[in-house]
A = this chain, B = another copy of it.
């Protein structure tokens, strides 16, 4: 079930269907909430077309992607009471990309928000550690579901098919990954907030 009203076709992030996590779409771009946000409001923006590298994007896709990054970034900064944003793209495997589908991380920041984790710059350790490893997080979600005899096969829904999370907790700070319902609730809230966000 899509979080976004009017969404029809499933939306893919790499090989994963992420429709319930998606809170904003344009003809060329979509924005989704994160399975394991590093900080509140940590979201991703991707092209609709599944391509691994920024250079694989057309100029129209490039413009649309970053106009969406700008607009979504402004929205999450407002909604989560932040004052700055980290925007980061791991463009290729040797830059740390774990899902071979272009995606910009947008992470709202505020003063002293990572003092407990080692200070402002800890964001990058988190982004490149287990917390930021989207491939691992998605694969864990899938394999956990696949190992569960109660999984509904062939329901055409998502890779993470919506029960309470049994993801392994791999974070040092014991932060829990969210289940589909948590993500859908946040995505619905952010979809409403996007309606209030000026177009330019």
A residues neighboring B (CB under 8 Å): 54-55, 57-59, 62-63, 65-67, 69-70, 73-74, 77, 82-97, 107, 109-111, 113, 120-121, 123-125, 127-129, 200
Given B57, B58, B70, B110, which contacts A55 in the complex, CB threshold below 8 Å? Answer: B70
Q: Are B67 and A63 in contact (CB under 8 A)?
A: yes
**B73 and A84 contacting across the interface, CB-CB below 8 Å:** no
Are B91 and A89 within 8 A (Cβ)? Answer: no
**Lowest 8 CB-CB distances: which A-B pairs, in order?**
A124-B124, A84-B92, A121-B128, A84-B94, A84-B95, A66-B66, A63-B63, A87-B89
Starting from the known contacts A59-B200, A87-B89, 18 additional A-B residue pairs (CB-CB under 8 Å) come to: A55-B70, A55-B73, A58-B200, A62-B66, A62-B67, A63-B67, A65-B66, A66-B66, A84-B90, A85-B91, A85-B95, A86-B96, A87-B88, A121-B125, A121-B129, A124-B127, A124-B128, A125-B125
A77: chain B residues within 8 A (beta carbon): 55
CA of A123 to CA of B95, assembled, Å: 9
> Max chain B CB contacts within 10 Å: which of A73, A82, A90, A125?
A90
**Max count, chain B CB within 10 A of own CB: residue among A55, A66, A90:** A66
Q: List residues of chain B with CB within 8 A of the CB of A65.
A: 66
Q: How far is the CA of A59 from the CA of B163 in the complex (A)?
A: 40
Name the residue on B nearest A89 (C-beta): B87
Cross-chain contact A87 with B54 (CB below 8 angstroms): yes
> What are some 25 contacts across the A-B interface (CB < 8 A)?
A54-B69, A54-B73, A55-B70, A55-B77, A58-B200, A59-B67, A62-B63, A63-B63, A63-B67, A83-B92, A84-B95, A85-B89, A85-B91, A85-B95, A86-B88, A86-B89, A86-B90, A87-B88, A94-B113, A95-B107, A95-B120, A96-B120, A96-B121, A121-B129, A124-B127
